[in-house]
A and B are shown apart, each in its own frame.
Chain A
Amino acid sequence: METKPKKILAIASGGGHWVQLRRLMPAFEGHDVVFATVNPAYRSDVADYKFYTVTDATRWDRLKLVRLVLELVWLLLRQRPDVVISTGAAPGYIALRLAKWMRIRTVWIDSIANVERLSLSGEWAGGFADLWLTQWAHLGQPDGPAYRGSVL
């Protein structure tokens, strides 16, 4: 059955988070996806898509956090996605919180690097993710996060 294309904001910070987000590309096929990350150099990885950068903030830097929140509010208002999806970390977590508040549906996929326990942002994201996933079967719980495969 054909579904109407959805608008997706796919957001991740640098390094492994971004690499994992890119491996999800087939899940977005046929939909209108916008990418957001923290490093302008990643633009060439997704040359055929709309691409935005936001401030690379961690929870240790309040001033940058404020900037990041403002940038994300602006991005969400301008793009009006149907779904926000993130593979971590801080920018994705904040995007999910804002999206939830704006009644946008949300997906958190905790990084495959978190083998023994969920990341802190992944734990926090649980309250704001409509689909809340770990990439390790042994970390899956009945009340979430769920395990539904991995990026590998």
Chain B
Amino acid sequence: MIFVTVGAQMPFDRLIRAVDAWTGERGRQDVFAQIGPTDYRPEHMEWTKFLNPPEFNACFRDCTAVVAHAGMGTLITALELGKPILVMPRRADLHETRNDHQLPTAKHFGERSNVDVAYAEPELSACLDRVESLTVDGRVGPTASPELVAAVRSFIEG
């Protein structure tokens, strides 16, 4: 199953439409999308507007790959679970977000082997074709770096 998620805060129809079209073209029956607060209705994939954390975690666990906005929560979860992930950054000029922080986020995390980036819709179809075969070099642990934990801990106790 390919799990598509755009977070709960804002819609991201540009991504959802493109993934929906790809799903139709490829005849895939196993794409599930969390589409956020939008009136757009996907035609070719199963969808829901929102997922609670247990449902979100279950989709993440069961999927073969994730397709998402370049949100930090989704990216970190993909790294924790060692899932291949394709992200498309939201753009402020299209009112998909309030600032363009997802662009550098995507660029930076795109350097990891299991993270691929599509900067715009035309690239998306080719990226979707290969997302399930991205290499996963293991997972990141469940906690912050020892240095950060130590810094915060010593401040708390200081």
Binding site for B on A (CB under 8 A): 3, 6, 8, 14-20, 23-28, 31, 39, 41-42, 44-45, 58, 82-83, 85, 105, 107, 109, 111-116, 119-120, 130-131, 133, 135, 148-152
Contacts and interface: CB of A to CB of B under 8 A. Distances in A.
Interface residues on B, range: 35 or more
Given A15-B73, A149-B151, A150-B148, A31 B101 contact: no
A30 to B, nearest CB: 9
Contact of A152 (B74, B107, B145): B145
B152 interface: yes
Interface in B103-145: 104-105, 107-108, 140, 142-145
Contacts of B92: none
Contacts of B146: 149
A104 B87 CA distance: 39
B72 A113 contact: yes
Nearest to B102: A113
Given A16-B73, A19-B72, A26 B144 contact: yes
Contacts of A115: 101, 104-105, 107-108
Contacts of A131: 151-152, 155
Given A31-B156, A149-B148, A23 B143 contact: yes
Given A14-B9, A41-B53, A115-B108, A148 B148 contact: yes
Contacts of B155: 83, 105, 107, 130-131
A133 B151 contact: yes
17 contacts: A3-B157, A23-B76, A23-B142, A24-B148, A27-B153, A85-B152, A107-B152, A113-B102, A113-B105, A115-B104, A116-B101, A131-B151, A131-B155, A149-B145, A151-B76, A151-B144, A152-B144
B144 A23 contact: yes
B7 interface: yes
B156 A27 contact: yes
Contacts of B99: 120
Contacts of A133: 148, 151
Given A105-B155, A151-B148, A152-B79, 10 more contacts: A14-B9, A15-B9, A17-B73, A24-B149, A42-B53, A44-B54, A58-B98, A148-B147, A149-B150, A150-B144
Contacts of A16: 71-76
User: Which of A14, A42, A113 has the most B CB atoms < 10 Å from its CB?
Assistant: A113
Contacts of B71: 15-16, 113
Contact of B140 (A14, A45, A152): A152
A28 B154 CA distance: 10
Contact of B145 (A28, A41, A111, A150): A150
Given A3-B157, A27-B153, A18 B144 contact: no
